[in-house]
Amino acid sequence: MSESRHAVFGHPITHSLSPRIHAHFGRQTGIPVHFEAIDATPETFPTALEAFAAGGGTGANVTLPLKEAALALCAEVSDRARRAGAVNTLVRKGGQWHGDNTDGTGLVRDLTARQGVDVRQRRTLLIGAGGAAHGVAPALIDAGIGELFIVNRTTARADALVDKLGLPGRVHARYFEDLHAIGEFDLVINATSAAREPGSTNAESGLPKLPTSLVGTRTACVDLSYGEVAIPFLAWARAAGAHNVIDGVGMLVEQAADAFKLWHGVRPYTDEVYTALRERDALLVTAD
């Protein structure tokens, strides 16, 4: 069996665990895999993707800040990618790119099957309205969450995501200034992309100071990122007394397994690689 060529595109990308995850999946399934990380900005992404395809690339993951840009480069997209307005998985078919989005299913599977979080009817706050938020919002709704509130540094983007979801009365856009009076949530998800400083209100940080009134005794707080970039939000969640504090490693592994199946026709087991990542890198663990 010849070795296939795959990659993850993003900026920055040197921190990515995806090459390690897919190498593990390849060993587990006996499928030869060559998986690399390629740094690309929104401006250089189209050229980099074209060069990747010319060099034999047959599939790719796409991470921040390229998920919405990837949608525009696809000849065809799945229904869930179309609903999300963002693509995180590319498959080369007939000389063209076909796009899908496995972020939302990856998040829901990690929360429900691994972390033991029942998302049904949970009043949910989504912080951010970029590609990551677009990827997970439809899947959360399909999984049965209750009301969904979306806040974003640029309010027009939050309004656009609410309009795209098309569920008036159930999905709402709010200003950051509203958070002090909006009550507590059962599920708080940080989908912002920039590195943060605790307590920062600088627009460049991506995350303002959050009131602890958002968190109740049964609240699950989730950061879609992992590693150092997730530390400020997770620290805030613990200080606020959240019941569950969860980073994005589990979601990353689950969405990668879904992508692997799209490329190779088999979905690998995920618990082994999830445990290996936790043990080897001493990444942030979930707090009960």
Which structural domain, as residue segments, surrounds residue 85?
Answer: 4-101+252-281
Same domain, 114 and 203: yes
Kindly give the pairing relationship between strand 89-93 and strand 57-62: antiparallel
pLDDT at 1 (0 to 100): 56
**241 annotated as belonging to a binding site for a ligand:** no
CB atoms within 10 A of CB 85: 19
Total of domains in the chain: 2
Judge if 227 and 130 occupy the same domain: yes
Question: 128 a known binding residue?
Answer: yes
| CATH code assigned at 198 | 3.40.50.720
Q: Is 88 annotated as a binding residue?
A: yes
287, part of any domain: no
pLDDT of res. 280: 66
CA distance 236 to 158: 23
Instruction: Give the residue numbers marked as catalytic.
Output: 67
Torsion of Cα atoms, 237 then 243 then 245 then 251, to 10°: -140
pLDDT per position as a tens digit, 125-150: 999 999 899 999 999 999 999 999 99
Same domain, 58 and 172: no
Query: Is 2 annotated as belonging to a binding site?
Result: no
129 annotated binding-site participant: yes
pLDDT in tens, 226-275: 988 899 999 999 999 999 999 999 999 999 999 999 999 999 999 999 99
Same domain for 63 and 151:
no
Q: Looking at the structure, do residues 120 and 228 belong to the same domain, yes or no?
A: yes
Our CA angle for 266, 27, 258, nearest 5°, is 30
Q: Is 17 annotated as a binding residue?
A: yes
* Global confidence as pTM: 0.90
